[in-house]
């Protein structure tokens, strides 16, 4: 049985549905700070504020879960606006979830991010093991989180595993407060207005991934043979390295008149500039068979189709 925190978030809302399909609805308990939406109707759901360790422990114990997938967190741009709150939620929530996993001997997943790298990290083909001096609160949270998860594995034997996610793109739940959100907004605007004004500047490369690949990665990693894992927290995984103009080019194959313009947001541009252009996923491929299925064109085709369907409903 799996407890998912942050189940109403960009990853959580789709992950809960996928896990319920794979393992049965009654075996996947969604949780978030409020109770709303389809994910609540389709299976067990509890209100959990992850800064409340006792509540986390009680729910995990009551449902006799054997796995925690901890997704509750503030993303990069929001974290820069509220750094202390981000520390309290991102680190306070994580250590609470790790403590529950230790006390109840649970398998543990939480995502890191390309945000765990900083301006002094090699930017092209960023290696699995390299310098990590992020300059954002979110990045500090992600590096600390990686070290904390490795610590709980080495010190207490908790089976912790994680991936460094690139920007995630999906048509189901929009991201909230990320730097890479432009890569989702651009598709909605392309359908609505055949135009988009990007807050990230031309030529700004970041790693991106379509949500189905992101969800498959979690299942694959969590089901991997632990004896094959040389790394744990957290594996570089990526699918697409792209800048705003690359998205526009892919969209124009379906909407030829699509127009892209720029109105750069200095805060999110500064965050984006501190991150890699592309990361190397070879450790994940070698240790647990990671392989992304969607490239930019395949993702773009599906995103435009699915968003059109949604807007015609």
Q: Which residues are catalytic?
A: 138
Binding test (CB under 6 A) with ligand VAH, winner from 5, 180, 233, 241 = 180
Q: Is 162 in the site for ligand VAH (CB under 6 A)?
A: no
Binding test (CB under 6 A) with ligand VAH, winner from 145, 167, 244, 276 = 167
Binding test (CB under 6 A) with ligand VAH, winner from 166, 209, 211, 238 = 166
- Please, which residues bridge with residue 283 across strands? none
Binding test (CB under 6 A) with ligand VAH, winner from 75, 97, 240, 243 = 75
Q: Least distance from C-beta 165 to ligand VAH, angstroms?
A: 6
DSSP string for 225-252:
-GGG-S--TTEE--SEEE-HHHHHHHHH
Q: Which of 79, 125, 169 is nearest to 276 (CA)?
A: 125
User: What is d(CA 293, CA 233) in angstroms, rounded to the nearest whole number?
Assistant: 23
Q: Least distance from C-beta 138 to ligand VAH, angstroms?
A: 6
Residue 257 has which token pair?
């008149």
* Strand order across the 2-5 sheet: 45-47, 28-32, 2-5, 67-70, 107-109, 160-161
Rg value, the chain, Cα: 19
Q: Least distance from C-beta 75 to ligand VAH, angstroms?
A: 4
Q: Least distance from C-beta 173 to ligand VAH, angstroms?
A: 12
User: What is d(CA 95, CA 92) in angstroms, rounded to the nearest whole number?
Assistant: 5
Q: Which of 103, 102, 177, 113 is nearest to 145 (CA)?
A: 113
Binding test (CB under 6 A) with ligand VAH, winner from 179, 198, 238, 278 = 179
Interaction residues for ligand VAH, span 77-136 (CB under 6 A): 113-115
Q: Is 141 in the site for ligand VAH (CB under 6 A)?
A: no
CB 235 within 8 A of CB 221: yes
Q: Is 139 in the site for ligand VAH (CB under 6 A)?
A: no
Nearer to ligand VAH, 43 or 167 (CB): 167
* List of residues contacting ligand VAH (CB under 6 A): 75-76, 113-115, 138, 165-168, 175, 178-180
């Amino acid at each position: 049985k799996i407890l998912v925190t942050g189940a109403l978030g960009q990853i959580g809302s789709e992950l809960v549905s996928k896990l319920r399909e794979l393992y049965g609805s009654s075996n996947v308990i969604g949780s978030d700070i409020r109770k709303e939406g389809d994910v609540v109707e389709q299976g067990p759901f509890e209100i959990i504020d992850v800064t409340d360790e006792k509540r986390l422990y009680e729910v995990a114990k009551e449902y006799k879960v054997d796995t925690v997938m901890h997704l509750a967190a503030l993303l990069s741009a929001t974290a820069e606006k509220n750094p202390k709150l981000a520390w309290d939620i991102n680190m306070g929530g994580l250590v609470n979830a790790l403590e529950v996993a230790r006390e109840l001997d649970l398998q543990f997943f939480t995502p890191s991010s390309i945000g765990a790298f900083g301006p002094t990290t090699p930017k092209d083909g960023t290696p699995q093991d390299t310098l990590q001096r992020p300059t954002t609160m979110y990045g500090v949270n992600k590096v600390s989180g990686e070290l904390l998860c490795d610590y709980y594995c080495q010190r207490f034997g908790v089976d912790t595993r994680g991936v460094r996610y690139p920007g995630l793109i999906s048509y189901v739940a929009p991201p909230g407060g990320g730097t890479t959100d432009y890569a989702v907004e651009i598709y909605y605007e392309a359908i609505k207005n055949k135009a988009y004004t990007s807050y990230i500047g031309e030529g700004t490369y970041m790693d991106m991934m379509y949500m189905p690949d992101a969800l498959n990665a979690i299942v694959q990693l969590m089901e991997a043979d632990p004896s094959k894992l040389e790394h744990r927290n957290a594996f570089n995984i990526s699918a697409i390295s792209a800048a705003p103009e690359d998205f526009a080019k892919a969209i124009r194959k379906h909407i030829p008149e699509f127009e892209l313009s720029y109105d750069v947001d200095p805060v999110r541009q500064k965050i984006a500039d501190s991150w890699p252009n592309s990361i190397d996923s070879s450790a994940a491929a070698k240790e647990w068979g990671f392989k992304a299925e969607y490239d930019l064109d395949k993702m773009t085709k599906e995103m435009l189709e699915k968003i059109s369907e949604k807007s015609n409903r």
